[in-house]
Amino acid sequence: MGTSAKNKTVRYSVFFLGGLVAWSISETASASNPAAPINGWPTAAAPNGRVLSLDLARINEKKLLRPGRAGALYAIAAKPSEFRADRTPLILIHGIKGDPKDLQHVLNRFKSRPVQFYAFAYDDYHRRTSLNGNDLAEQLAALSERYWGPEREVIIVAHSMGGLVARYALNQLAFGVSPRINRFKMVRLFTVDTPWHGYGGPSDRGVEGFFMKVAGAFMPDGLEDMRAESGLFQGRPNGRSAAERAGLLNLILPAHVKVNVVFAQDGKNIMDYTEGDIKDLVPKIAARFGSNTPIRGTARQINFWKALIQARTAISAFRSEMESAATAGRLTEATVRDALDRHYPRFPGDHTGVLREHPGKRSFLDHLSDQLGQP
């Protein structure tokens, strides 16, 4: 055997022995504190027949989808016997090309509270956002009927595209073929770095719509509805219900549905009011309240503005502040920007990092804790 072959053999032996040591340590740890099985535990008592573990990394989302790749809601608990349908539902929804574990820090922060966590498992990239929204609406209605009963508060924390999925679901529950939003005492939707503006691409209407039908065959289904001028945002004239015909942000949700809109300070995945063409809204907002000039702009800008003015947790205070500043003659772009920062805050972290703890800084988790009240 040559020298190089001997050296290679030694290296392989060391690697193999190291692997044995690591395996031995892992086995010892597992024996003392066994990990939950992937996708938790089957149980007929829980929604969709399963309880997921508190470790969201132990979720194989593809295997949780219903037939036809339809999305499904699953309870989360330390073990099946700890599923508590009587507690306030707190639903976690990840974004496109995301994963439930993106929201692990949300679960960690609030798992000691008297809430019951759920995760919405869905095919974010290969199924249209509108269809995922329909699935979520169906699941919310089904769980309300079987597990929650009427007059129940529901909390939803939705990241990125998950915010669009959640908003579409609420539109369906409020204005769909079978409205059922009044079964809930209150729905509180917290959207984190959601692309309310939408992205570029042709419209679904007119000549552009013809070309979009061709282009759509080569585009992942999850991206089709993300265009600013898609039928999801602008409405589908031939839709079956008012929710489909009006478009995502052209309907005013009932007063007991409250939407909270926040953003990440870093990253370029999503635009906020400080970035790209969306920052051009600031002088337009100043003109809107200063001289009653209607806000006009691109589809992206109008979509974003509609999302802001429909955030019930902020818009009344924001509008009052703008009107007072205009009356006092001190409404400027700086005034608008300052108010936006306070009512639609931006928190530390990039697109996914915003969901994590940020010691020494006020984080989204701190904001959410304030909004939900102290345990």
pLDDT for 210: 62
pLDDT for 325: 96
How wide is the angle at C-alpha 365 spanned by C-alphas 277 and 170, nearest 5°? 65
How wide is the angle at C-alpha 186 spanned by C-alphas 59 and 358, nearest 5°? 50
pLDDT along the chain (375 residues), means of 10: 42 34 35 76 98 98 97 98 97 96 98 97 96 98 96 96 98 95 97 96 77 77 93 94 95 96 94 96 97 96 96 91 96 97 97 97 97 80
Are 119 and 158 a contacting pair, CB within 8 Å? no
pLDDT for 266: 96
Radius of gyration of the chain (CA): 24
Q: Are strands 88-93 and 115-121 parallel, antiparallel or unpaired?
A: parallel
pLDDT for 14: 32
What backbone phi and psi angles, to 5 degrees, belong to 189?
Answer: -105, 120
From the list 122, 118, 129, the residue with the least C-alpha distance to 87 is 118
How far, in Å, CA of 56 to CA of 36, rounded?
10
pLDDT for 53: 97
Starting at the edge strand found earlier in the chain, the sheet holding 184-192 runs: 41-42, 50-52, 72-76, 115-121, 88-93, 152-159, 184-192, 257-264, 346-347
How far, in Å, CA of 259 to CA of 116, rounded?
20
How far, in Å, CA of 241 to CA of 243, rounded?
5
